[in-house]
Structure 1
Amino acid sequence: MGKPSKKQKKILLIVGITGVVYVGFKYLLPLVIPFLAAYLFAICLKPSAAWIQKNLYINLKGKKRYLPIGIIGGLEFLVILILAGVGVYFGVEKICREITLLSDNLPVWIENLDYWMTGQCHSLENAFGLEPNCLVRLVREILAGLKVKIKETAMPFLMINSMTVVSYTVKVMIVGVIIFLGTILSLQEMESLKQRRQNSIFWKEYDMIGCRLMQAGRAFVKTQGTILLLTMFLCALGLWILKNPYYIILGIFIGLLDALPVFGTGTILIPWAIIDFVRGNFASGAVLIALYLICYFMREFLEAKIMGNQMGLTPLESLVSLYVGWQLFGLLGFILGPIGLILIEDIIEAYENKEFTT
């Protein structure tokens, strides 16, 4: 068998590195995500923790005694969690007040819906010469049967998934404790870890991957933050055009919903538009559909554009990597796809330039 050609070597290199990155993301990354998160938190907390450690000490027998930087970082972590919890509490309280206000109008909406449905049934009865109120009784029977069916289906679903929710909650708590302890230990041992990394024969690989992860993290936060604010603004503006009295709170709610996995602006806007079309409010329905399309294409464009610029990918490469990552890893693939692509490109380039040879 002859010696592989340059093209064959390049193909083998691409396939090999791609396979290694995929296996690492698929099987290794889930095991180390809590510790990566802890290390990133430690990096963020280190400057302030180091400043506090330097300026907060006690003199004991003529010697300065400093608090361990890990303890300081842990206390900072707890303060941040408490502040975040307070913010979430007041945010949820505000939303609950708005929901209560909206619920005051619910009986009126139900009455209007019942009046509209009854009118439509009577119109159909007159048009087809049917017995008076026969369609009204039929619709009410269907709704009653649907109510019973939902109850019968919901109870087993809740019973089955309640244990899943409890198990998931316990796992989240355990992971949270691991991240908290990992942050403290990472702060305490950061210099030692840095020294080990520099003395390792794989220090170039560590440095490349670390830099790319930090770059990808900044790009993701910037992208999602920009999209979140723009979505809130566009939704609030669209609802203000429709003269909705709750345009601010609804705009914020739809923007936050769009930032969550699985959900999107269409979760609210599309059913709302359909209801408006059915009720004959075509202008309002058209505005809601237009608003959904604007938010959808804005997200698709900005995710490809901003993440691509921040991570060194073209908009097309970023879009392709987002889609491939989604297909391979699900929702997490929206982050892993671009990171995987730039890691593959950088490692291939480094090996071709013989940067990893010792």
Structure 2
Amino acid sequence: MKKYLVILLVLFIAIYLLPKSIPIILGLLTAIIFEPLILHLQNRWKLKRLLSVIIVFILFLSVTGFLGYLVLARLIEQFLYFSSNLPFLLAKLNVLFTIYMNQWEVFSATVPRDVIESIEGSFHSLEDSILNATSNLTQSILVFITTIPQLLIEILVYLIAFFLFSLDLRKLKIQVLSFFSDETRDKFLLMYHQLNRAGIGFLKAQLLFSVLTFILAYSGLLLLDVEYAVLLSIVIVFVDILPVLGTGSVLVPYAIYCFITNQQDTGIGLLILFLVITVVRRVIEPKVYSTNMGISPIASLISMYLGFQVLGFLGLILGPVVVIIYDTLKKAGILKFQFKI
């Protein structure tokens, strides 16, 4: 009884501290991901672990720093350009709004008053929604700016955790395994290797999807001669990672804006680009997940479809995860479900 109370107490503390330990957890996951590379350097070049860790850590900082600099430099450049043009865009929208209002006054003279009030009420609701969204966006930007110092501290903690975990990962693994019996240790190692493979495969799949989405979005926006192509492509990739949003939350509103501003060709092109990205993603997702996460294409397809039906876009990710966990528990002998007719 005492043992179970201790386990419950440890779980309660872990659940309480989990949201406050995100940088440390990410550092541990990064160390696990790069562990094969560290071992390869040790075995291939007969290097000490400290030197191997330093090499991998410097490479990680160099690559991420260089890519981050390129992306941020381009992003800031286009953001400043967009900010400088924002007054002209708002003035253009104001002129169009005045034209549409004049047309509306002519049209409303021939329509019953009840219908006019209903339509005007819908427009006012839409206007309030746009104002609220703009206000929320501004507040979010201000909040993000105020959290930059905290973000820098968390990045520093993440990098330190990554380095320290990389140094002591093998010792930590031995210490964790010492708490298990031989039978439980074998099951734990099997589950660890399966989930580790699936987790790394999932990250590879998401990276591939992000790169593919960026290439498709950037190429399409360049063909359409859209301004801020890099900025929009990065925003599309970011929202595409989020389970609820997706590329349509950027391309569709932008297409509507183009239709309002008499840029019908660009608006149609943006809708076609949205369909192309969506179709390509849905076609290759089952194959990519099955290749990188170790489940069959049919299991990946079914789990993604059912997950989408039950949980929406979030189910596209959680569906394959449930299948992987079930398959791992079954191989470890924890689930012994057998059915014969």
Q: TM-score range by the shorter chain?
A: 0.5 to 0.7
Give deviations 1:216-253, integer Å, cap 9, x for gaps: 13432442233223322322333234233554564455
Question: How many percent of aligned residue pairs carry the same amino acid?
Answer: 20
Tell me how far 1:151 sits from its aligned partner.
5.9
Moved more, 294-303 or 106-115: 294-303
Q: Give the partner amino acid of 1:339.
A: I
When residues 151 and 260 of structure 1 are mapped into structure 2, their CA distance, relative to the original with a 3 A threshold, is closer
Of 275, 282, 295, 2:257 maps to 275
Of 97, 103, 108, 2:88 maps to 108
Q: Give the partner amino acid of 2:240.
A: D
SS in 1 for 2:226: coil
Give deviations 1:145-178, integer Å, cap 9, x for gaps: 986997699769978x999998787666555543
In the alignment, structure 1 segments of 5+ residues that lack a partner are: 1-22, 55-67, 131-138, 354-358
Q: Give the partner amino acid of 2:166.
A: T
When residues 277 and 346 of structure 1 are mapped into structure 2, their CA distance, relative to the original with a 3 A threshold, is farther
Q: Does the 8 Å CA contact 1:236/1:251 hold for their aligned counterparts?
A: yes
Aligned match of 1:47: 40
Aligned match of 2:183: 201
Aligned match of 1:342: 327
Q: Does the 8 Å CA contact 1:274/1:285 hold for their aligned counterparts?
A: yes
Aligned match of 2:8: none
Moved more, 31-40 or 75-84: 31-40
The 5-angstrom pairing of residues 14-25 of structure 1 reads none
SS in 2 for 1:254: helix
In the alignment, structure 2 segments of 5+ residues that lack a partner are: 1-10, 111-122
Equivalent-residue separation in structure 2 for 1:333 and 1:90 (angstroms): 33
When residues 177 and 149 of structure 1 are mapped into structure 2, their CA distance, relative to the original with a 3 A threshold, is closer
When residues 42 and 199 of structure 1 are mapped into structure 2, their CA distance, relative to the original with a 3 A threshold, is farther
Aligned match of 1:212: 194
Q: Does the 8 Å CA contact 1:277/1:285 hold for their aligned counterparts?
A: yes
Give deviations 1:45-68, integer Å, cap 9, x for gaps: 2222555664xxxxxxxxxxxxx5
Equivalent-residue separation in structure 2 for 1:218 and 1:155 (angstroms): 36
TM-score normalised to structure 1 length: 0.63
Tell me how far 1:275 sits from its aligned partner.
1.5
SS in 1 for 2:183: coil
Q: Does residue 157 of structure 2 align to residue 180 of structure 1?
A: no
Indicate the structure (1 or 2) with the bigger Cα radius of gyration.
1
Aligned length: 303
Aligned match of 1:317: 299
Moved more, 263-272 or 149-158: 149-158
Tell me how far 1:302 sits from its aligned partner.
2.3
The 5-angstrom pairing of residues 251-262 of structure 1 reads 251-260=233-242, 262=244
Equivalent-residue separation in structure 2 for 1:80 and 1:156 (angstroms): 30
Aligned match of 1:91: 71
Tell me the C-alpha RMSD between the 2 structures. 4.9
Tell me how far 1:204 sits from its aligned partner.
3.4
Q: Does the 8 Å CA contact 1:50/1:69 hold for their aligned counterparts?
A: no
SS in 1 for 2:94: helix
Equivalent-residue separation in structure 2 for 1:320 and 1:256 (angstroms): 26
The 5-angstrom pairing of residues 19-168 of structure 1 reads 35-49=28-42, 54=47, 69-70=49-50, 72-74=52-54, 76-128=56-108
Tell me how far 1:93 sits from its aligned partner.
1.2
Give deviations 1:111-150, integer Å, cap 9, x for gaps: 22111111111222233459xxxxxxxx99x979986997
Q: Give the partner amino acid of 1:213.
A: L
TM-score normalised to structure 2 length: 0.66
Q: Give the partner amino acid of 2:93.
A: L
Q: Does the 8 Å CA contact 1:42/1:184 hold for their aligned counterparts?
A: no
